[in-house]
Structure 1
Amino acid sequence: MADVVPFTDNFSDLSNTQGYQFEFRCERCGNGYRSAFRRDAMETGRGMLRAVGSFFGGTLQQLSSSAEQWKWDRATNSPAKDRALTEAVEEIAPRFRQCRGCGDWMCAEQCWNEEVGQCLRCSPSVAEEVSRAQAAAQRDQIWDETRKKNWTRDLDLGTRAKLTCPDCGVKVDGGKFCSACGSSLSPTVDCGGCGTPSKAGAVFCAECGQRF
């Protein structure tokens, strides 16, 4: 009976026509490792056959064409690929642990709780959890305390806020006057008929209807 090929669900096949390579990823942080590239001896031999065949032509050329037409299934039923995957798993395995809690594969360096024997997702580090809880509570308290303070006390909420000075065009942060030229950010004009102030740029008086 053929050897059983170790199976994991956290790897990608990076193999190409020249050889075999696999990338294994941690299922918590996403970090990963690539196995060493292993050149396919059969493909190397076919490449040499193609090169010699193209040089001499004739029978060797026909042999080269036959080698080119031969389908090499790299996805399934490839003994060479099975061997390469087995070697890759043996090479990378020391860097990973499979958690008995969730069954996922975790990198031993970043996501494994050695003290408990489970991944940090199932058995988080006590110090990390305390730090995370403290940070979350501090953030919530900052929002609560900020809401208690009156941030509108010194703001002129009755005047339309301007972000650009209508006189010089400089960007401003609110207020009544431009910090660059001193012009009013809400200039008005008085009606010549009734004297009612109106916003600058108005064409007719809103009180008596006279044209400015």
Structure 2
Amino acid sequence: MTEAIPFTDNYSDLSNTNGYQFEFHCERCGNGYRSAFQRDSATTGRGLLRSLGDMVGGPLRDLGNAADDFMLNRGTNSTAKDRALAKAVTEIAPNFTQCRGCGDWVCHEVCWNEPVGQCVRCAPELNDELARLQADARREQARERLESTDLLRGTNVAERVVAACPSCGARTSGGKFCAECGSPLARTTTCAGCEAELPESARFCPECGTRTSGS
């Protein structure tokens, strides 16, 4: 009877037709370790049998095909794979500990709080937790201070904003002239009757009613 093998939900099976290999992952940070590749001792014999079958044909070819089917169907219930997985677990297990707080398998290097005996999710490292709380406090204080700061001081919010230069089409970032071509962003003309400044689209002077030359 095959013995029970730990690490049942935090590993990936990288095995192929040549042998067995497994990759174990920390259930907190996602990093992990890959076990050494274990070559299947029967692979060479099956390969030889398949080669002979291709040359000779007949029963040997049938045996070679049966060997291939065995390789494809051996799945996770193969005793050879169980032995390989058990060996990989023995190799990799010292790098992981199962947290009794949450049950996750976590890596020693990053995610294990040794003095407390729990993972850093259940028992965060003091300095790491303090740094996180300080960062949260700075963000909150910055938000509060920003809300009481006038960011529009000196800006005429009623003034018409031109998003693109009417001459060259370049995007603008404020000001009266285009930073790309130097053209005025708000094109104006002068009334022929009273010399009042007129917007480009005006058909009549708003001061004296004179029709503009472009209308």
TM range (shorter): 0.7 to 0.9
**Sequence identity (%):** 51
* Rounded Cα–Cα distance in structure 2 between residues aligned with 1:59 and 1:179: 84
Q: 2:127 matched to which residue of 1? A: 127
Cα 1:105–1:14 change in 2 (3 A) is same
Q: Does the 8 Å contact 2:14/2:22 carry over to 1?
A: yes
Q: Secondary structure at the match of 1:61?
A: helix
Q: State the SS of the aligned residue for 2:76.
A: coil
TM-score (norm 2): 0.84
Alignment partners' CA distance in 2, 1:83 and 1:104: 24
In the other structure, the counterpart of 1:199 is 199
Larger CA deviation: 14-23 vs 90-99:
14-23
Measured after TM superposition, the shift of residue 194 of structure 1 is 7.8
Letter in 2 for 1:99: C
Q: Is 1:163 matched with 2:146?
A: no
**Contact 2:23–2:32 (Cα < 8 Å) also in 1:** yes
Q: Show the counterpart of 1:10.
A: 10
Distance (Å, rounded) in 2 between the aligned partners of 1:149 and 1:163: 25
1:68 corresponds to: 68
Which segment drifts farther, 45-54 or 102-111? Answer: 45-54
**SS of the residue 1:131 aligns to:** helix
Q: In structure 2, how many angstroms separate the alpha carbons of the residues matched to 1:123 and 1:39? A: 41
Q: 1-side partners of 2:172 and 2:164: how far apart?
A: 6
Conserved? CA contact 2:2–2:82, under 8 Å:
no
Alpha-carbon separation, structure 1, partners of 2:39 and 2:32: 21
Distance 1:193 1:170 in 2: 34
Q: Which residue of 2 aligns with 1:188?
A: 188
Q: CA deviation at 1:130?
A: 1.0
After TM superposition, give the deviation of residue 118 of structure 1 in Å. 0.4
- Aligned positions, number: 211
Structure 1 letter corresponding to 2:4: V
Q: Which runs of 5+ in 1 are unaligned?
A: none
1:99 corresponds in structure 2 to 99
Counterpart-to-counterpart distance in 1, 2:58 and 2:64: 10
User: Displacement, 1:166?
Assistant: 2.2
Per the alignment, do residues 72 and 152 of structure 1 end up closer, same or farther by CA in structure 2, a change over 3 Å counting? closer
Q: Is the 8 A contact 1:196 1:205 kept in 2?
A: no
CA-CA distance at 1:181 after TM superposition: 4.7
Per the alignment, residue 82 of structure 1 pairs with 82
Note the C-alpha offset of 1:65.
Answer: 3.3
Contact 2:17–2:71 under 8 Å retained in 1: no
SS at match of 1:41: coil
Partner of 1:109: 109
C-alpha RMSD of matched pairs (Å): 2.6
Counterpart position of 1:48: 48
Letter of the 1:11 counterpart? Y
Secondary structure of the corresponding residue to residue 65 of structure 1: helix
Gapped regions of structure 2 (runs ≥ 5)? none
Distance between the aligned counterparts of 1:74 and 1:199, measured in 2? 83
Aligned pair in 2 of structure 1 residues 74, 67: CA closer, same or farther (>3 Å)? Answer: closer
Give the direction of change, closer, same or farther, for the CA distance of 1:25–1:69 in structure 2 (3 Å limit): closer
**Paired residue secondary structure (2:189):** strand
SS in 2 for 1:12: strand
**Amino acid corresponding to residue 88 of structure 2 in structure 1:** A
- Report which stretch shifted further, 110-119 or 130-139: 130-139
